[in-house]
Chains A and B, each alone.
Chain A
């Protein structure tokens, strides 16, 4: 059974750095074709992929946010951590981590999201 759960602060101040942790179980992020991603959703708005770390340790970032994002994976702890610098009120959103599959081993060009955490609402306000 695959599960993921996000943890981190619910309130951050503008200009601060946000650190979110995704703790997962039921799969290995080193399995070919598997990835873990961070996706956010501002209140009442659509979903936006922020960053993804792949089974082979490759990483990719949303181009518009790349300079502010870092994603790291700790397989032994079963955690994936996202840091986002210089937070702004427009970054207020629910942040999800998700298990993804795709690529060559799934006969796919990209990756899609099979299991999601419950999400954590992060508010950016002074």
Chain B
């Protein structure tokens, strides 16, 4: 199985900050990576697919980049609604796997 490692596990930031979350794959996954946002007690919500394609309705302050084994999710200017846990998922093969999550907290 391909292992996905996110860093940091927890990130404290303030409204208006620019933040970056990293996701590393144990082997190359080309651009087959998705990012999800999950708020407490809610289902995950798809933000980005194919490493950098923003889903319809997702604010443009979210962006994704990377290929191969290293990927990033960037939020350009944090809004109060963005404090949540973020997961990456590789879908390079039919055995997809998720990262362990990054919790974005208010500083």
Interface flag for B89 (CB, 8 Å)? yes
Interface flag for A114 (CB, 8 Å)? yes
| Interface residues of chain A: helix, strand, loop or mixed (majority) | strand
Q: Which residue of A lies closest to B98 (CB)?
A: A47
A110 touches B43 (CB 8 A): no
Q: Mark A38-55, 1 if CB is under 8 A from B, else 0.
A: 000000001111001000
Count residues on chain B whose CB falls below 8 Å from chain A CBs. Answer: 27
Taken together as a complex, chains A and B put the C-alpha atoms of A112 and B96 apart, in Å, by 8
> For A47, what are the chain B residues with a Cβ–Cβ distance below 8 Å?
36, 44, 87, 89, 98
Q: Mark A108-124, 1 if CB is under 8 A from B, else 0.
A: 11111111111100000
> For A96, what are the chain B residues with a Cβ–Cβ distance below 8 Å?
43-44
Give 26 A-B contacts (CB < 8 Å), ordered by A residue.
A46-B98, A46-B101, A47-B36, A47-B44, A47-B87, A48-B98, A52-B94, A60-B94, A60-B95, A63-B1, A102-B91, A108-B91, A110-B32, A110-B91, A110-B92, A110-B94, A111-B91, A111-B94, A111-B96, A112-B34, A112-B46, A112-B49, A112-B96, A113-B36, A113-B44, A114-B46
A interface residue count range (under 10 / 10 to 19 / 20 to 34 / 35 or more): 20 to 34
> For A114, what are the chain B residues with a Cβ–Cβ distance below 8 Å?
46, 55
> For B50, what are the chain A residues with a Cβ–Cβ distance below 8 Å?
108
A117 touches B30 (CB 8 A): no
A108 touches B87 (CB 8 A): no
A119 in contact with B92 given A46-B99, A46-B101, A113-B34 (CB within 8 Å): no
A116 in contact with B44 given A108-B91, A111-B96 (CB within 8 Å): yes
A113 touches B89 (CB 8 A): yes
> For B1, what are the chain A residues with a Cβ–Cβ distance below 8 Å?
63
